[in-house]
């Protein structure tokens, strides 16, 4: 499984001459919209660090988490930063649009709940909706308006784009999701995908009281109802790393984020990440990064 693709990685792969900038004021998130006419015929199977809504007009195969679906008529795809996916086109006749955005952009400072818990983006949900001619016309019109608006000089254009995005989400919630996904025959792929989804589901840590619940390979194996040896074998086969390495890497990633972007003290971060004592966290962090949590904080000042 490939590592997660960042917004920067997306632009390097698809629009190398594009200047990536956060829209609006600092912290207001990112949004952009593109035509699918020049999209890659084969995209990498990985998670993305952004949300994406695609109106797919063209034939191909969508690989999503531990299953896949054949797309032979217009479809709307909702993808989130947790679940890995890829698109394998049957031919070059690909049309439609897609927009990508961050949760910060859509919420715009409002507390709307976790977008990953919404019906269209939640883990374990069905992300594909086949559309009829009338629905395709409505959705195409919204994407066209987004494309026009993002190129305009209107001072409130991002409010307009946000409104179009909300409208697209509500229009889709009237539809019935596709029910024709097929499971992978590769059991290791399925187990590794489920593990990676479950691992990401533990984050972010929003407060020291919301401590990490799953900390060891055994914890994850029990949650997935499989033997830990089977989990370890599958994760190693598919990702090239052990289960423990994947867990450690994600904890260190979260620790770096908390040390950099919060004012929690070291003890609060340690407890939030599931460590019984701050000293255990300090030793763990130094072993993995070569510096202590306090040293990292000091370097950021």
How many whole angstroms from its chain centre is CA 83? 6
| Whole-number pLDDT of residue 116 | 67
Do 138 and 216 sit in the same domain of this protein?
A: no
What's the domain count of the chain? 2
Do 34 and 117 sit in the same domain of this protein?
A: yes
| Whole-number pLDDT of residue 272 | 93
Inter-residue contact 177 to 129 (CB < 8 Å):
yes
Do 28 and 42 sit in the same domain of this protein?
A: yes
Q: What's the whole-number mean pLDDT along residues 112-141?
A: 84
Mean pLDDT of the chain: 87
Do 219 and 262 sit in the same domain of this protein?
A: yes
Residue that wins the pLDDT comparison between 122 and 120: 120
DSSP single-letter state for residue 115 = G
- How far is the CA of 197 from the CAs of 36, 43, 134, 190, 249, in angstroms? 27, 20, 35, 11, 15
| Whole-number pLDDT of residue 288 | 96
- Tens digits of residue pLDDT in 214-251: 999 999 988 877 889 989 999 999 889 999 999 999 99
Dihedral-angle region of residue 108 (phi above 0 means left; psi in -120 to 50 means alpha; beta otherwise): left
Name the pTM for this structure: 0.63
Do 17 and 163 sit in the same domain of this protein?
A: yes
Do 128 and 191 sit in the same domain of this protein?
A: no
Containing domain of residue 230, as a range?
A: 185-300
Do 64 and 27 sit in the same domain of this protein?
A: yes
| Whole-number pLDDT of residue 17 | 63
* Listed residues 182, 198, 216: the one ending a domain: 182
Q: What's the whole-number mean pLDDT along residues 108-115?
A: 63
Q: What's the whole-number mean pLDDT along residues 47-54?
A: 92
| Whole-number pLDDT of residue 22 | 44
Q: Indicate if the pLDDT at residue 195 is higher than 70.
A: yes
* Listed residues 149, 182, 215: the one ending a domain: 182
Parallel, antiparallel or unpaired: strands 60-64 and 85-89: antiparallel
Q: What's the whole-number mean pLDDT along residues 85-95?
A: 91
Question: Count of CB atoms within 10 A of residue 131's CB?
Answer: 21
Do 71 and 141 sit in the same domain of this protein?
A: yes
* CA-angle at 151, arms to 145 and 155, nearest 5°: 95
Q: Indicate if the pLDDT at residue 42 is higher than 50.
A: yes
Q: Is 246 exposed, middle or buried (0-12, 13-18, 19+ CB in 10 A)?
A: buried
Which residues have a Cβ under 8 Å from the Cβ of 154 and sit 6 or more positions away?
160
């Amino acid at each position: 499984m490939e590592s997660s693709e960042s917004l920067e990685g997306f632009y390097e792969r698809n629009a190398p001459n594009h200047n990536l900038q956060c829209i609006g004021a600092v912290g207001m998130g990112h949004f952009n919209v593109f035509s699918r006419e020049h999209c890659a015929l084969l995209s990498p199977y990985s998670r993305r660090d952004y949300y994406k809504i695609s109106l797919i007009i063209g034939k191909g195969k969508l690989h999503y988490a531990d299953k896949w679906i054949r797309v032979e008529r217009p479809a709307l795809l909702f993808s989130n930063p947790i679940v890995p996916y890829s698109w394998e086109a049957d031919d070059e006749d690909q049309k439609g649009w897609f927009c990508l955005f961050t949760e910060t952009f859509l919420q715009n400072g409002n507390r709307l709940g976790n977008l990953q818990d919404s019906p269209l983006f939640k883990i374990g949900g069905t992300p594909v909706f086949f559309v009829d001619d009338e629905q395709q016309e409505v959705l195409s019109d919204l994407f066209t308006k987004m494309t026009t608006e993002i190129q305009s000089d209107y001072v409130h254009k991002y409010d307009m784009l946000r409104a179009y995005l909300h409208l697209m989400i509500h229009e889709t919630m009237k539809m019935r999701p596709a029910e024709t996904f097929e499971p992978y025959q590769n059991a290791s792929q399925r187990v590794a995908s489920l593990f990676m989804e479950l691992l990401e589901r533990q984050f972010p840590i929003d407060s020291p009281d919301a401590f990490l619940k799953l900390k060891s390979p055994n914890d994850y194996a029990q949650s997935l109802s499989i033997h830990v040896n089977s989990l370890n074998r599958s994760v190693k086969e598919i990702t090239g790393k052990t289960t423990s390495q994947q867990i450690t890497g994600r904890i260190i990633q979260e620790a770096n984020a908390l040390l950099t972007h919060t004012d929690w003290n070291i003890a609060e971060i340690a407890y939030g990440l599931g460590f019984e004592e701050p000293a255990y966290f300090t030793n763990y962090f130094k072993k993995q990064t070569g510096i202590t949590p306090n040293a990292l904080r000091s370097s950021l000042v």
